[in-house]
Amino acid sequence: MISNGGSKIISVVYEGYSWCWAAKNRNENFGRTLLTIFVAVFLISWYTWLIKKSRKGKFPLPPGPRGLPLIGNLPFLEPELHRCFAKLAKTYGPIMKLRIGTKLCVVISSPSIAKEVLRDHDTIFANRDVPAAALAATYGGLDMVWSPYGPNWRLLRKVCVKEMMSNKSIHDCLALRQREVRRMIADMYGSIETPIKVGDRMYLAVMNVIMNMIWGGMIKGEEKNRVEMDFRKVVGELVDLLVIPNVSDLFPILSRFDLQGIQRKSKELSLWFDRIFKSIIDQRLEGEGKSNKKNESNDFLHILLQLKEEGDPNTSLTMNQLKALLMDVVIGGTDTTATTIEWAMAEMMHRPEMLRKVQEELDKVVGKDNMVEESHLPKLHYLDSVVKEVHRLHAVLPLLLPHCPSQSCTVARYSVPKGTKILLNIWAIHRDPNAWDNPLEFQPERFMEGTCNWGYNGNDMRYLPFGSGRRMCAGIPIAERMLMYILASLLHSFEWRLPEGTEVDLSEKFGVVLKKATPLVAIPMPRLSKSELYV
């Protein structure tokens, strides 16, 4: 309608102007000049009116700092992005826009606006903004973490939550977890009175536990050690590729050229995963074929192969989906859990009275003549509150994983266009003085039973260590149990002290996973009543 009306006005003005211009007295230059100015002013005013009318009722984009042409705000961002965004939010507010390369990015730093994205408009924001490296590493985004919201994602989520992470499946894997945790304690006992890098040991321990739950005891001896070391190396390299600023992400139009070779490297690493998974799956299927009976293992691989064989359209997986899901478990559960354990150890060693309180609780619940069992965990209330406070103050995914709206949407009275990269600054939300008392203090008591009802379900937007809504972490049940079990075993089995002349450094190093800037080095000393318990 605006277009048709505009055409008619232009036509009338043009005809009148042409008639005047063709007047007999062609020496009237002054009159023609005035007429030209009048027409120009009229057209500019009319165009401005049209623009304003077309925007009437629409909300503006969020506020944000000015950027440069083409590269946007990229040159002005600091390496510690979570802190940089928190500092900018003090100027531009809890929802702000940035141009990172040619990509529009919206950063959210308040619980109320996070609720709009993760709850009120959950379906619209259920997609991911997928880095080129992740797309190349996951069979084209075929896994659960990066897959677009749709049938493939719903199938993988259903299989993960209802089959792999069900109470029955987690209970069935109990013996597998216990075996690896006891092995970790025995290995640690061989390093008593020796300084060790806690993060490295925890990474290896968590990796062993996860791989044991994936394929049980299929790999043994030297082959097991080799595969574990290779997994650690490849997972680390893949996570590093996700952190490197990639021209393909900053300028999507250049993605096809892979100027830095990041997609190529990611694909090479994913092929390594593929070969390992294929080899193990073939071994499992071949073993079952020779024995003419199903494997009785309760590991995740058994669950997934069983679902694939049943052929139920509601739960049946392709082989690539199966391998992508196993890759998610390995990558998603290893670094995050190991890093959280290291942060917990660092905070307690920084506050010896807190460490003593945790160990007193362990002695009361477990006793010094026993080893920690998973059945003890629900009674360890103070340790649970310590872990929750670690998740608050040292959220391992400080910006979670990026969301992406499937259609344009209004959030906090601002327009968020389709395809925008949405980052939720959980690090800032967890330190918001409007949401927390003494937010910068490490106070586990705030999570003690009876004072509040905090959990990991994402219902309270002030506390989102695992996210919220459809795309929240699917592995919470196993992550929570595994973290508590390993940490309780370490603190119960050993006394811990710092090397002479050192102090605990609690500074951070930004990445996809927020790690300690300086690795924690500590010396374990036995504290159980009998040495046989360590064997």
**Residue 160: which pLDDT band, with cuts at 50, 70 and 90?**
very high
The model carries a pTM of 0.87
User: Residue 38: what residue type?
Assistant: F
More confident residue, 14 or 272: 272
| Domain presence at residue 386 | yes
How far is residue 11's CA from residue 16's CA, in Å, rounded to a whole number?
Answer: 9
pLDDT at 224: 77
- Residues 46, 165 within the same domain: no
pLDDT at 23: 44
**Residue 52: which pLDDT band, with cuts at 50, 70 and 90?**
low
pLDDT at 24: 45
CB-count exposure of residue 8 (10 Å: 0-12, 13-18, 19+): exposed
CB-count exposure of residue 496 (10 Å: 0-12, 13-18, 19+): buried
CATH code (residue 115):
1.10.630.10
- Residues 99, 7 within the same domain: no
| Domain presence at residue 65 | no
| Number of residues in the chain | 535
- How many separate domains does the chain show? 2
**H or E segment and range at residue 71:** none
Token pair for 21: 């211009």
pLDDT at 53: 52
* Other beta carbons within 10 Å of 152: 17
Distance from chain centroid for Cα 370: 37
- Residues 50, 95 within the same domain: no
- Residues 251, 315 within the same domain: yes
pLDDT at 28: 53
Closest CA to 423 of 407, 449, 403: 403
pLDDT one-digit tens code per residue, 213-225:
998 877 777 777 7
Domain that holds residue 36: 2-55
- Residues 118, 225 within the same domain: yes
- Residues 34, 89 within the same domain: no
- Residues 178, 247 within the same domain: yes
How far is residue 277's CA from residue 325's CA, in Å, rounded to a whole number?
Answer: 11
**Residue 7: which pLDDT band, with cuts at 50, 70 and 90?**
very low
Indicate the residue among 11, 38, 55 that finishes a domain.
Answer: 55
| Domain presence at residue 73 | no
- Largest Cα–Cα distance of the chain, in whole Å? 117
| Domain presence at residue 520 | yes
CB-count exposure of residue 467 (10 Å: 0-12, 13-18, 19+): buried
- Residues 9, 124 within the same domain: no
Would you say residue 43 has pLDDT above 60?
A: no
Would you say residue 64 has pLDDT above 90?
A: yes
| Least confident span in 116-125, 146-155, 276-285, 303-312 | 303-312
| Domain presence at residue 61 | no
| Domain presence at residue 76 | no
Token pair for 33: 């000049």
Mean pLDDT of 497-521: 95
pLDDT one-digit tens code per residue, 294-327:
555 678 999 999 888 877 777 778 899 999 999 9
| Domain presence at residue 64 | no
Closest CA to 391 of 331, 447, 350, 349: 447
- Residues 22, 162 within the same domain: no
- Residues 28, 137 within the same domain: no
| Domain presence at residue 103 | yes
pLDDT one-digit tens code per residue, 399-439:
999 999 999 999 999 999 999 999 999 999 999 999 999 99
Instruction: Give the whole-number percent of the chain exceeding pLDDT 70.
Output: 86
Token pair for 256: 């096809």
What is the DSSP annotation of 449-513? BTTB---SSS-STT--TT--STTS-TTHHHHHHHHHHHHHHHHHHEEEEPPTT------EE-SSS
**Torsion over CA of 417, 422, 425 and 426, rounded to 10 degrees?**
120
pLDDT one-digit tens code per residue, 243-266:
888 999 999 999 999 999 999 999
- Residues 249, 201 within the same domain: yes
- Residues 205, 351 within the same domain: yes
More confident residue, 61 or 35: 61
Task: Share the mean pLDDT of the chain.
Answer: 88
